[in-house]
């Protein structure tokens, strides 16, 4: 591929929240974007935002934890947009509970979406990156990877993604492929709004309480994360690989 050709990016969980902001940001950087989420119709808003701004995007429905759906989704991306060389593994779910109350199904759901989903997507996309001699993988970890009450499943998955990222960096580096993880702190999305509802707090009150614990004295917005992902997926970031960047308004780890 010549460097003037448009690169194709796949962003999972891009119907809303961090994934939607990332899809819009990567399109603004000149990428053609496959907006993937569970429900194709739910991707329409993100796709319309991109096309209204003059970008190229398609909506693709797929469950990232299902091997056949992932393969079909990437085949569609290749057919309709071209071979993908940028992948953002962002799709995610929460099933919070204290360990003694956590069901096996809550454990499996979270591990399947985050870890199995990122594995399946990366496996499906990497061959196109190897062919192109260029690739950028960004996995969404979390500050919860460092441990968080009520999130044994989620913290294990998000810590697992950090190990996965580092191994991808080691295995795929010689093909011009980098792999990095972005680990957000508190970001205002439907995910954190659902957590507020679960603990019986209004979202504004919940965000204000969270902000008191954050050095920059505010919670994050999806664009704060999209910005870090834009850096890692950039043409100039080819010597940055295997890193975990906490984007949390202050130091962590």
Ligand X SMILES: NC(=O)c1ccc[n+]([C@@H]2O[C@H](COP(=O)([O-])OP(=O)(O)OC[C@H]3O[C@@H](n4cnc5c(N)ncnc54)[C@H](O)[C@@H]3O)[C@@H](O)[C@H]2O)c1
The strand pairing partners of 246, in sequence order, are 183
Nearer of residues 132 and 182 to ligand X, judged by Cβ? 182
Binding mask of the shown chain, residues 164 to 193, with x at each position contacting ligand X by CB under 6 A: --------------------x-xx-xxxx-
Nearer of residues 72 and 130 to ligand X, judged by Cβ? 72
Phi-psi domain of 147 (left: phi exceeds 0; alpha: psi -120 through 50; beta: other): left
Nearer of residues 1 and 252 to ligand X, judged by Cβ? 252
Binding mask of the shown chain, residues 124 to 143, with x at each position contacting ligand X by CB under 6 A: ----------------x-x-
Give the shortest CB-141-to-ligand X separation in angstroms: 7
Tell me the residue number closest to ligand X, measured at CB: 17
Q: Is 108 strand, coil or helix?
A: helix
Report the C-alpha dihedral over residues 106, 71, 163, 152, rounded to 10 degrees: 0
Nearer of residues 12 and 132 to ligand X, judged by Cβ? 12
Q: Which of 59, 80, 67, 168 is nearest to 124 (CA)?
A: 67
C-beta separation of 84 from 134 below 8 A:
no
Residue labelled with tokens 């960096």: 169
**Could you give the CA distance from residue 105 to residue 175 in angstroms, rounded to a whole number?**
38
Q: How many CB atoms lie within 10 A of CB 5?
A: 10
By CB under 6 A, tell whether 160 contacts ligand X: no
Binding span for ligand X by CB under 6 A among 16-24, 78-86, 123-131, 232-240 = 16-24
Instruction: Please report, as ranges, the residues that interact with ligand X according to CB under 6 A.
Output: 12-13, 15-19, 37-38, 63-65, 90-93, 113, 117, 140, 142, 184, 186-187, 189-192
Catalytic residues: 154
């Amino acid at each position: 591929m010549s460097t003037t050709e448009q690169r194709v990016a796949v962003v999972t969980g891009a119907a809303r929240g961090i994934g939607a902001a990332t899809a819009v940001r990567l399109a603004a950087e000149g990428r053609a974007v496959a907006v993937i989420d569970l429900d194709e119709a739910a991707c329409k808003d993100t796709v319309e935002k991109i096309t209204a701004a003059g970008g190229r995007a398609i909506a693709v429905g797929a469950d990232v934890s299902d091997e056949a759906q992932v393969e079909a989704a990437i085949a569609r991306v290749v057919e309709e947009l071209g071979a993908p060389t940028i992948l953002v593994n962002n799709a995610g779910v929460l099933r919070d509970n204290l360990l003694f109350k956590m069901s096996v199904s809550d454990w499996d759901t979270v591990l399947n979406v985050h870890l199995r989903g990122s594995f399946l997507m990366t496996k499906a996309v990497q061959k196109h990156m190897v062919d192109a001699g260029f690739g950028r993988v960004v996995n969404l970890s979390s500050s919860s990877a460092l441990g968080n009450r009520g999130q044994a499943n989620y913290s294990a998955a998000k810590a697992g993604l950090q190990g996965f990222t580092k191994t991808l960096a080691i295995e795929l580096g010689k093909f011009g492929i980098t792999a990095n993880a972005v680990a957000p702190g508190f970001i205002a999305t439907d995910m954190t709004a659902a957590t507020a509802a679960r603990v019986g707090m209004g979202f504004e009150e919940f965000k204000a309480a969270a902000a008191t614990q954050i050095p920059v004295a505010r919670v994050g917005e999806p664009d704060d994360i999209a910005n870090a992902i834009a850096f890692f997926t950039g043409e100039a970031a080819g010597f940055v690989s295997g890193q975990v960047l906490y984007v949390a308004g202050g130091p962590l780890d």
